[in-house]
Amino acid sequence: DSGVTQTPKHLITATGQRVTLRCSPRSGDLSVYWYQQSLDQGLQFLIQYYNGEERAKGNILERFSAQQFPDLHSELNLSSLELGDSALYFCASSAWGGGGTEAFFGQGTRLTVV
């Protein structure tokens, strides 16, 4: 158990819908990362938050947004869903978020868009 909790584990929704994925980081970790794992794109970094503020942005679509709350949990919002958004979404957390910091991954949310 990494200490990072993601909910839900599985999610099935229709095209055009909006979903919210939730992540609780390890106790004491200030930084949260979101990654998308799909068969064609592999593992891609989406976005990073550190202590409530956006720290870095990767290949995140405009239809996707995220935030980190004062209690440090984070949510990833995916809207106007398309079939191609079907993927495994990982959250990871680390102590401070700089280069080389060990990131601990949650078990992922499997999103299926039908």
Residue with tokens 């809207």: 79
Residue with tokens 């990131």: 103
Closer to other proteins at the Cβ: 32 or 113? Answer: 32
Q: How far is CA 108 from CA 11, 35, 63, in A?
A: 11, 9, 20
Closer to other proteins at the Cβ: 34 or 85? Answer: 34
For residue 8, say if its preceding peptide bond is cis, omega within 30 degrees of 0. Answer: yes
Closer to other proteins at the Cβ: 101 or 112? Answer: 101
Q: Pick out residues in 36-95 that bind other proteins (CB under 8 A).
A: 42-45, 48, 55-56, 58, 88, 90, 92, 94
**Pair 20, 8: CB distance under 8 Å:** no
Q: Can you give the binding site for other proteins, defined by CB under 8 A?
A: 2, 31, 33, 35, 42-45, 48, 55-56, 58, 88, 90, 92, 94, 96-103, 105, 107-108
